[in-house]
Amino acid sequence: MIAFASGVRVWLATGHTDMRKGFDTLALLVQETLKRDPHAGDLYVFRGRRGDRVKLIWHDGQGACLFTKRLERGRFLWPSAADGVVTISAAQLSYLLEGIDWRMPQKTWRPKAAG
């Protein structure tokens, strides 16, 4: 697990993105399409057409970081929004990267008493 700063904002680019894109092209996509600053320290997540791959781009203050994840089974759950970008919490990002439904995660059952 890669740890990000606690206050990092996470943005999901709705729709699908060509997974052949790299640092510069994704940063340009953030700037031109999402109308955000790719160097502000926010984390941007893009999903491929098939839904089994995501790419994350993040500027850590020294340079751009690019992370990729592919699910062996299943697909990443993705929002469909009209404006092209959705914000989620860092905890929801952790669920998303694990392949868990980040919109309504299920709490585990805890016993009320011992014994």
The Cα-based distances of 84 to 3, 46, 89, 95, 110 in angstroms read 26, 11, 17, 21, 38
Strands 10-13 and 85-88: antiparallel
Task: Work out the pLDDT band at 61, boundaries 50, 70, 90.
Answer: confident
Does residue 1 register a pLDDT over 60? no
Q: Is 111 exposed, middle or buried (0-12, 13-18, 19+ CB in 10 A)?
A: exposed
Per the domain annotation, does 60 fall within a domain? yes
Q: Find the domain containing 50 and state its range.
A: 10-97
Per the domain annotation, does 104 fall within a domain? no
Per the domain annotation, does 102 fall within a domain? no
Per the domain annotation, does 78 fall within a domain? yes
Q: What's the rounded mean pLDDT across residues 20-29?
A: 94
Per the domain annotation, does 42 fall within a domain? yes
Per the domain annotation, does 111 fall within a domain? no
The predicted-structure confidence for 69-111, as pLDDT tens digits, reads as follows 998 888 888 887 666 788 888 888 888 888 887 777 666 566 7
When divided into structural domains, the chain yields a total of 1
The predicted-structure confidence for 5-24, as pLDDT tens digits, reads as follows 678 899 999 888 999 999 99
Query: What is the structure's pLDDT at 108?
Result: 59
